[in-house]
Amino acid sequence: MSSFASDEHFVDSMRQERSGTGLRDQVSRLFEEARDDVYRYLLTIGLHPPQAQEAAQEVFLRLYATLRKGEDIQNPRAWVFRVAHNLGLKIRTRQHAEEPFEPELSARYAQDSGTPESELIERERMRRFHDAVSRLSEQQRRCLFLRMEGLRYPEIGSVLGISASAVGEFLRRAMVRLKRVRDE
């Protein structure tokens, strides 16, 4: 999440150091910074943890390969999510026989007890929020998750293959539904 401000700088230095160890360092840095986000995103689209980790690793190697081939990547973080998304879906399609990964988040929230009341209220609220998120349409949820990762509308659009205005519309619907959780 912290890398946007430095994206421009990142790109510049990547251009300067197209080959050699500089590029490797840059990719490694982005890898360390964003791998967990990418990994979690892959879990949310239904990959099982080992696949998601393998795929996340793969995505950053592709980033390196693409930059090595001399291509310009304007926003590496958005690029990484786009490639992760496509790779994730391909892996999912290949394993259509297998059940997609669905973490039992709500169950986990119900388990704990003996915690202060304020925390319990917050948990209850997050549980309801999670329920609302699960009820969103798939596209709405994907737009929302990518937005949470800091991607802009055109970038989300290019990940999902839809227009930026469609992203705006999906996000609007998602936010309207999530807003209701507060009012409940």
* Sites for other proteins among residues 92-121 (CB under 8 A): 93-94, 103, 105, 108-109
Contact between 56 and 96 under an 8 Å Cβ cutoff? The reply is: no
Sites for other proteins among residues 53-92 (CB under 8 A): 53, 56-58, 60-62, 64-66, 68-69, 71, 74-75, 78, 85-87, 89-90
Q: Is 150 left (phi over 0), alpha (psi -120 to 50) or beta?
A: left
CA angle 91, 92, 97 (to 5 degrees): 120
Contact between 142 and 46 under an 8 Å Cβ cutoff? The reply is: no
Binding of residue 161 to other proteins (CB under 8 A): yes
Of 17 and 162, the one with the shorter C-beta distance to other proteins is 162
Sites for other proteins among residues 23-52 (CB under 8 A): 24, 27-28, 31, 35-36, 39-40, 43-45, 49-50, 52
Retrieve residue 61's tokens: 């190697």
Among 110, 120, 121, 176, binds other proteins (CB under 8 A): 176
DSSP letter, residue 98:
S
Contact between 41 and 149 under an 8 Å Cβ cutoff? The reply is: yes
The minimum distance between CB 43 and other proteins, in angstroms, equals 5
Contact between 164 and 154 under an 8 Å Cβ cutoff? The reply is: yes
Sites for other proteins among residues 1-20 (CB under 8 A): none
Of 14 and 52, the one with the shorter C-beta distance to other proteins is 52
Sites for other proteins among residues 130-149 (CB under 8 A): 130, 133, 137-140, 142, 144-145, 147-148
DSSP letter, residue 20:
S
